[in-house]
Structure 1
């Protein structure tokens, strides 16, 4: 790889982490004016449309074979649909900074599920990652439990991380040959469809009266623009462009930066004030992810999920 190309790829990885990290406060800001089911229907629907157009332009195979529908949609339900919906409600019930930290137990859950369902060995490096992850959860949650301020939103964030991890196991257990960008488009489209059903059931006033677009605050417009254009459209385009040239493990390292960017940007943009134990939990979770994801020697880097960057 030439030096200019390597520098461009490194910049792209940083931009990817920035887009997904900033999406955490963007989603929380958008939720001030948009109900959760509606926000997810808009975001996932726009992302699906963009990826379908890109796949068509690139001449990628769009239609799934008979045996590909179930694993693609099953993994997508876990890594995209359930993950995104749970986090929308988690951010309504808990500070975004804490939701970010708890959600990023996902590399640890991936190791646990890989052991349970794929029989993958728990080597020393993964054991260290699990220890850091458990310590991070205790550091974050125990003071809240003692103070009586533990929120169910953190439980939703934890389940979201488990859902994302389980989705990666599904796609590992049942690999498919469809181009990743096409798989992501179908997964986002299915997620948007589920969110639209949720709109009809739980937010019928939106379908009946429409959205009060004129009443949106400026921050809502900015947040929605970032969520749709940068976090969904551009980020996924960068993600799959990098996957086409670099090892999957190298590209997935961009997710190591997401929780730190999510926490720092939530402090700056939302005015949240994490405690010392919150920051300690963030450090421990980051160490856990590094232990699990960073390649060491000739160890094989884990494959990323088919279409998720843990965006918030």
Structure 2
């Protein structure tokens, strides 16, 4: 199960200051649309992906419910306590913080590409959300630290340091390609960490456990000696099981779409950094390089949200 510490917060005002240095970016007007479109697609994919991340504790709670007798449910305080335990156990706050850091970064990238003189409300909100989530205190029931989020913490600090360099003027004499080059390893690491968490903890563990618990529950009901279910009851139970199994399948498919979206974000950002490094900044060079990623992300974003 996921373990780790909360990543450190972004320096106060870092994102906003980062957004205000757009005049330093040597991007032609013709190529701004390509960068902005990719950045916006990345933000949309990351935001939609939080549906998958937030379903992690919910899946844990559904597994708890599936172990109860058929006529017993979790209500009010019990349900809240169950969800809190599941949330702490999975460290969903930390996972969402990683996603928020990436979202804030790509929001800033989009603002830079548009050469906006001031940050949009959406970008400001992304920065505030990332800061709020990162500085949230973990519950006392949380598990001890583990390698996944500790590994992510270093990459979060790397992006924070980059933004702080912009805020303090240490990178004001450099072009955007320097920022992209510095950020690319961290973007790669954070997207890979999220992918591993979703695959290993959500798909391989939580959804698999939920399926097993639900299957066991329906088996108990079908073989109950008192009262022994009639044939019609068995058909009803089978229909319910098919429906629940299909819902689990759809969430698993959404998780795989999210993992692929993270891969597209990672590859697209690496391509963007490489284009800037090579000085290939004209629209005829950037558009064909980034368009496949933006288009794929738009499709994947829709797929991620289907079961939720």
TM-score when normalising by structure 2: 0.31
Give the structure with higher Rg (CA): 2
- Structure possessing the higher relative contact order (Cα contacts under 8 Å, 6 or more residues apart): 1
TM-score when normalising by structure 1: 0.30
